[in-house]
Structure 1
Amino acid sequence: MRWITEVDAVPQAAPQARTVMVSAGHSDTTPGAAANGYREADLVCEFRSLTSQALAKRGIRHLTDGEGMINLPLREAVDIARRADIAIEFHCNAGGPKASGVETLSRPEHYRLGEALCAVTADVLGIANRGAKPEDAGPHSRLAFVSDGGGLILELCFITSKHDLASFLSGKRGLADEIARVVADAARIQ
């Protein structure tokens, strides 16, 4: 567990009222989906780092489950998520080559944040918005990060879609900035 505290204060921003954690859903030991020459673990670890940097620039103190391509085991990430008010784990979806879009999986209390994350991701990447869904809406009936950690899973795009993947690769920095903006706003709500 690592606190990111590099704070470049955002002028006239409300103080942070909620704790934040960002997580990469996979690692070298559990690489997730692979398609089109990419591994999910590599994409989400890099995206976690980009989002962490963007949160720090917005003055948001937050936790991560690792740095660079290093990622803690899921049980440790779940323990960190459990202690955060806002915990987001990044993933890439997998499906047929025509499957496309962004979605979140969470408990109902996180649907509003999930909808905001989906909207900004769909807008930045130019992909479909599949919306905020319950944790059992995907291929799994129970997700540890959601059930045990109380977090939200953000399926950034379909790694199996050449269009989604190209959009993500070209737009990931801008997307990280926009995700950080949405999370920063949520963290400052009393």
Structure 2
Amino acid sequence: MDDWKQAWKLKSVQVGAASAFFYALILLSEQFLSVWNVIPQELKNKIPESIGEWVGMFVGVAMVLARLKKQPELHGDIKPFVTITAGHSNVDPGAVNGKYNEAELVRQFRNAVAHYLAVAGLEFKTDGTGTINLPLTNAIALAKGASLAVEFHMNAAASKSANGVETIALPKDKVLAQKLSVAVANVFGSRLRGDNGWIDQSQSARGRLGFINAGGLIVELGFISNEAELAEFNLKYWSAAKAVAQVIIEHEKDA
């Protein structure tokens, strides 16, 4: 521009210069403090009082900026993760129907969900891999540090006709609980129990469940005591696991 010598009068230039000044302070604050700290005190005492006041103010500002500046070396990147666990454990079979036990079936389901989450590249943790199904205490510990925690169980009842899918959760997770139940029910051809698949823990006969109190959701995949639902599970659990994994993936994308 022809009158560039008068550019300092422009507000845009003044604001830009101020921004550049403070950005330079942020970048150089640590270096300035390092240099200031190695100057002998006797030399600092020889600085005229009027100048010393300005230097002192500059040091104070530099200290604040250095403190506010992001320091990655002090903070590791914390990546959110999903927890998926299998109910019961290797020493607690849960409900049993003939040669099938709940702990083994839900472990297989957990592994299938884990497979699809891994394919999608989602960070997750489980209470074991392969044939390992760790106790509830491990699942609760994982749930407390997760962005989302889901555990799988199967219901059982004295009546062989009892059926349906439900997800037990706190009211804050009602919508997600319903989505998980729908995903399972659609594959198995099951009905939805409770409120469109959601069971409020406070209304559950099971009482206060530790996994849910830790922030998790418990999906009851059907009734192991119902021969038809058990057969559907064994035939289609991989497809149901894929549907559940998709609900989890979409939930984490929207979070």
TM-score (norm 2): 0.65
Cα distance, 1:139 vs structure 2: 3.3
1:144 aligns with 2:213: no
The equivalent of 1:123 in structure 2 is: 186
2:198 to 112, 119, 132: 132
Identity %: 38
Residue 184 of structure 2 aligns with an amino acid whose one-letter code is T
Name the CA distance, whole Å, in 2 between partners of 1:139 and 1:165: 23
Say whether the 8 Å CA contact 2:107–2:133 is kept in structure 1.
yes
Cα distance, 1:136 vs structure 2: 4.0
CA spacing shift, 1:32–1:85, aligned 2, 3 Å: same
Deviations 1:53-72 (A, max 9, x none): 01111121111111122122
Which piece of structure 1 moves more, 135-144 or 154-163?
135-144
Name the CA distance, whole Å, in 1 between partners of 2:205 and 2:89: 20
1:30 aligns with 2:96: no
State how 1:38-187 maps to structure 2 within 5 Å.
Answer: 38-95=100-157, 96-130=159-193, 131-147=197-213, 149-187=214-252
Name the CA distance, whole Å, in 1 between partners of 2:204 and 2:245: 25
**Partner secondary structure for residue 32 of structure 1:** coil
**Partner secondary structure for residue 254 of structure 2:** coil
CA spacing shift, 1:160–1:137, aligned 2, 3 Å: farther
Residue 140 of structure 1 aligns with an amino acid whose one-letter code is R
Cα distance, 1:76 vs structure 2: 1.6
Structure (1 or 2) with the greater strand fraction: 1
Number of residue-to-residue matches in the alignment: 173
Say whether the 8 Å CA contact 2:80–2:147 is kept in structure 1.
yes
Name the CA distance, whole Å, in 2 between partners of 1:116 and 1:28: 29
Name the CA distance, whole Å, in 2 between partners of 1:136 and 1:67: 32
Residue 179 of structure 1 aligns with an amino acid whose one-letter code is V
CA spacing shift, 1:136–1:158, aligned 2, 3 Å: farther
Whichever of the two has the greater Rg, that structure is 2
Of the two structures, which has the highest relative contact order with CA contacts closer than 8 Å and spacing of 6 or more? 1
TM-score (norm 1): 0.87
Structure 1 gaps, min length 5: 1-16
Cα distance, 1:18 vs structure 2: 5.1
Deviations 1:73-102 (A, max 9, x none): 211210110111110000000112000010
